Structure 1
Amino acid sequence: MGILIIDDTDFDRNLLRSILASAGYEIAGLANCGEEGIRQYEALAPQLVMLDLIMPDLNGIEVLRRIRAEHPDAKVMMCTSVGEENMVTLARKMGARGYVVKPYIAENLLSAVKKIIGPPGKEF
């Protein structure tokens, strides 16, 4: 299962992977755009999706909408920059389980992930 990371920025994608993997979470896949993220979600059925809000092809809201239309129980956490509160509110209304703010602080990120899927190694 593991965690799917969807982010168009190499730095943010790799940083998320590093923080999550070093804490013991399995990384199911990495996608650098919304369309690829949706394809990987279908192929991998991850336990959690870490989804960037602002991407050039599809924004995170559209990716969230499309994933949850087919998989209403999907667990998605939005990754956002400060100042995008309206988008975060919309994402929550559409079923996002939470959000973390960039730049990432490992302790906050891991705490948020643990609230949604539990500690590393726990499979549902």
Structure 2
Amino acid sequence: MLTVGSFALALFAILGSVCWACLQEKNPKGSREYILLIEDEAQVAALTVETLVGEGYRVILVQNGFEALKIYRNIGKQIGLVILDFFLPVMDGDAVFYELRVLNPEIDVVLSSGLAEQQKINAMLGQGLRGFISKPYSSQNLLAQVRSTLDAGRQGLRPA
């Protein structure tokens, strides 16, 4: 089971410190789902974590695909959504996506990139990728994609 301590460590590595009072004062729209964020760009990761936590989501941040797969093998059943950067150290996003699909064919993954090749995105969509959000993205676009993906999965509206 994940704890607040493990969450704080992941967040501390990116943000340096956390204003817990600020995070708790918001009126969250998230349902406390766990989101695995795989992002190696520090600024993008920090803003994404801040946005998602501010809406009531629990974020597990990793910077490469190898770490993501290790975490998913251990606690994958608790993770409601994966947000996956395309260009990562160790393994590119498409390789991580296909490995995650082996672990869980029903996994909800949203790809995030500014430069990904359309052919690879289309191939991933054909293999169950749930969405794509182009960088740079706004907080509003991020939250809309996250909520719609989680809701579609919950209601059984996932594309084949």
Range into which the TM-score falls when normalised by the shorter chain: 0.7 to 0.9
Q: CA offset at residue 85 of structure 1?
A: 2.3
**How far apart are 1:100 and its partner, in Å?**
0.7
Identity %, equivalent residues: 28
Q: Unaligned regions of 5+ residues in structure 2, if any?
A: 1-32, 155-160
Deviations 1:73-95 (A, max 9, x none): 11111001056322321221221
Q: Which runs of 5 or more residues in structure 1 are unaligned?
A: none
Q: Which has the higher helix share?
A: 2
CA distance in 2, matches of 1:40, 1:10: 20
The answer to whether the Cα contact below 8 Å between 1:38 and 1:67 also exists between their aligned partners in 2 is yes
Matched, 1:35 2:88: no
> How far is 1:4 from its partner?
0.5
- How many equivalent pairs are there? 118
Match among 40, 44, 58 for residue 91 of structure 2:
58
- After TM superposition, which residue ranges in structure 1, 4 or more long, deviate above 6 angstroms? none
CA distance in 2, matches of 1:83, 1:96: 14
Summarize the alignment of residues 19-98 of structure 1 with structure 2, pairs less than 5 Å apart.
19-27=51-59, 29-45=60-76, 46-82=79-115, 84-98=117-131
| Structure of higher RCO (CA pairs closer than 8 Å, 6+ residues apart) | 1
State the structure with more CA Rg.
2
Q: Distance in 1 between matches of 2:63 and 2:99?
A: 17
3-state SS of the aligned residue for 2:134?
Answer: strand
Structure 1 vs Structure 2 CA RMSD: 1.6
TM-score, normalisation: structure 1: 0.87
Q: Distance in 2 between matches of 1:98 and 1:34?
A: 18
TM-score, normalised to structure 2, is 0.68
1:40 maps to a residue whose letter is I
Deviation of 1:52 (Å) = 0.3
Q: What CA deviation, in whole Å up to 9, does each residue of 1:15-67 have, x standing for no partner?
A: 2111111122121x111111001111122221100000111211110000001
